[in-house]
Amino acid sequence: MKPAPFEYHAPSSAAEVVKLLEELGDGAKVVAGGQSLLPMLALRLAYFDHLVDLRHVEELRGIEQRSTADHGDSLWIGGATTQAVIGRSDVVSALAPLLSRATPLIGHFQIRNRGTIGGSLAHAEASAEYPAVALTLDAAIETLSPRGQRTIPATEFFTGIWDTALEPDELLTGVQFPVWGGVNGADASGSRCGFAVEEFARRPGDFAIAGATVAVQVSGRGQVTRCGIGLFGLGPTPLRAAAAEAAVTGGSALGDANQAAEIGAAAMEELDSVPADLHGSAGYRKRVGAAMVAKAWRRAIGEATGTGGPDGAGNDGAASEGAGHG
């Protein structure tokens, strides 16, 4: 037995989970799919006196379309919903296609059968796909603690390496993804959206050396009206390329031939702590990252403008073989 000993708890409601976390204090950890936690326990990178398992907490599983007067349409996914279920969901592919397209890039199908969206976000691996998707789509993270419920914007959730805004006694209960206007073809105002994720990994299923997510909304007149560019593997946390987004928002969706490459380069200019390891220097990662942004931008714009579908974009000649594999 490789992990250090711990006491096992399997409560059946979110309220009981939170009560346990409050009683047990810092020595307790929530386990959902365990696909990141168990390797850390096996390698003794981490150990806890108590594990609180979510396997019996049914209220944390599910996928629902929700509509509120304040926030419009949204897609709600329970924190303990597995990546496999998300990847198969027609509701997800209709309302948040970026999430569907990112899912096959997570680990392998055996991992996705156990791994959960809440686990992906709470673990907050900087080179993982779901945290970048949540940032890019302006998702909000729902939590429960002894102090009650709260909703944390994804942009305020990722605070450092494997660190989030979650308190030790706080449970991630669900994620809300706003449904972008024009996600399924032109909306009433003529806007259409495009979404793409691109990453480069040494082998399918490995953590990406660098990756990018792009969500873009284009008006009927061809103007970029909303844009999210997410970066992963390029800093201590997943990131938004805010300056690059601002530079393209309001401009023409179909710029000159260098538009995608320029956006890729601009997205890298904002980075100040790119990781370096035996898989690649910081400089290499930025070159890969720029190529991934450019490629994702082309695909997303192609979809939003009808000049190419999500699978219709050409290869830009950069490192690309990580795309489309699990």
Partner 1 sequence: MDDVSIEVSVNGRPRRAAVPARLTLADFLRERCQLTGTHLGCEHGVCGACTVLLDGEAVRACLMFAVQADGAEVTTIEGIAAPDGELSAVQAAFREHHGLQCGFCTPGFVISMTAFLRDHSNPTDEQIRDALSGNLCRCTGYQGILAAVHAAAGAGTRNEVVS
Residues that bind partner 1 (CB under 8 A): 1-8, 10, 34-35, 38-39, 41-43, 51, 53, 55, 84, 104, 107-111, 113-114, 203-205, 325-326
Residue 312 is classified by DSSP as: -
Kindly state the smallest distance separating residue 40's Cβ from partner 1, in Å. 9
Nearer to partner 1, 34 or 230 (CB): 34
Do the bridges between strand 28-31 and strand 50-53 make them parallel or antiparallel, or are there none, so unpaired? Answer: parallel
Kindly state the smallest distance separating residue 196's Cβ from partner 1, in Å. 19
Nearest to 264 by CA among 234, 285, 287: 287
Q: Under DSSP, is residue 28 helix (H, G, I), strand (E, B) or coil?
A: strand
Nearer to partner 1, 39 or 306 (CB): 39
User: 271 forms bridges with which residues in the sheet?
Assistant: none
Nearer to partner 1, 53 or 262 (CB): 53
Which tokens in the block code for residue 204? 């399918």
Distance from C-alpha of 2 to C-alpha of 135, rounded to nearest angstrom = 35
Kindly state the smallest distance separating residue 108's Cβ from partner 1, in Å. 3
Kindly state the smallest distance separating residue 8's Cβ from partner 1, in Å. 4
Nearer to partner 1, 113 or 320 (CB): 113
Nearer to partner 1, 85 or 291 (CB): 85
Distance from C-alpha of 177 to C-alpha of 152, rounded to nearest angstrom = 12
User: 312 forms bridges with which residues in the sheet?
Assistant: none
For tokens 């569907």, the residue is: 100
Which tokens in the block code for residue 203? 């082998």
Kindly state the smallest distance separating residue 38's Cβ from partner 1, in Å. 5
Do the bridges between strand 7-9 and strand 50-53 make them parallel or antiparallel, or are there none, so unpaired? Answer: parallel
Nearer to partner 1, 88 or 226 (CB): 88
Q: Where are the alpha helices (DSSP H) in 25-78?
A: 37-42
Kindly state the smallest distance separating residue 202's Cβ from partner 1, in Å. 12
